[in-house]
C-alpha cells in the first residue's frame, strides 16, 4: 500500500506544481482513473490521512488552477471521487463548492457549478436543503450572462 500512496501523491504533486500544462492535465486524468474506476481504484488501499490529503489538494487545485481546461479535468476528478466517497465523508466539499459559486471568479464558478451538476445524480438528497441557495446562484449567473 505504500507504493500506491507514493503513486497517488506523486500525481497530486505533478498536478499542483508542474509548470508544464500537459503534465498537470495528465496528472488530473490519471488521478481520476486510479482513484475512481471501480476495477482499478486505488482509493480503498490508501490510509485515511492520505485520502484526506488528496481530497484537500484536489480542492486547492480546483480553487487555484488558472488553466480552464485543467480546472475542468480537476473538476471531473473531484466529481467522480465525491460520487464514490461522499457517503463515507467529505464534509469540506459542499461548503467549498458553495464558497466557489458565491464568491469565486467566473471560471471558478463555472467549474464549481459543473461539479454540482455532476454530483446531483449521486448526492441529490444532500443538496435538497440548499436548493433555494442554488436557485438564487443560478439566477445570478444567468443574469450575469446577459
Residue 144: pLDDT band with limits 50, 70, 90: low
Predicted structure pTM score: 0.87
Residue 115, C-alpha cell as written in the block: 461539479
pLDDT at 142: 63
Count of positions (residues) in the chain: 146
Pure H helices in the chain: 2-17, 21-36, 48-64, 68-85, 93-103, 106-127, 131-145
CA distance 59 to 93: 8
CA distance 65 to 93: 17
pLDDT in tens, 94-119: 889 888 888 868 888 889 889 988 88
User: Helix, strand or coil for residue 1?
Assistant: coil
Amino acid at each position: 500500500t505504500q507504493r500506491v500512496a507514493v503513486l497517488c501523491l506523486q500525481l497530486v504533486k505533478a498536478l499542483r506544481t508542474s509548470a508544464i500544462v500537459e503534465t498537470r492535465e495528465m496528472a488530473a486524468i490519471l488521478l481520476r482513473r486510479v482513484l475512481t474506476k471501480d476495477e482499478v481504484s486505488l482509493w480503498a488501499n490508501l490510509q485515511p490521512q492520505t485520502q484526506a490529503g488528496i481530497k484537500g489538494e484536489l480542492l486547492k487545485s480546483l480553487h487555484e488552477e488558472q488553466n480552464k481546461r485543467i480546472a475542468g479535468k480537476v473538476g471531473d476528478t473531484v466529481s467522480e471521487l465525491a460520487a464514490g466517497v461522499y457517503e463515507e465523508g467529505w464534509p469540506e466539499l459542499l461548503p467549498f463548492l458553495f464558497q466557489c459559486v458565491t464568491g469565486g471568479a467566473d471560471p471558478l464558478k463555472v467549474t464549481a457549478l459543473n461539479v454540482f451538476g455532476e454530483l446531483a445524480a449521486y448526492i441529490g438528497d444532500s443538496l435538497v436543503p440548499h436548493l433555494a441557495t442554488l436557485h438564487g446562484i443560478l439566477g445570478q449567473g444567468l443574469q450575469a450572462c446577459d
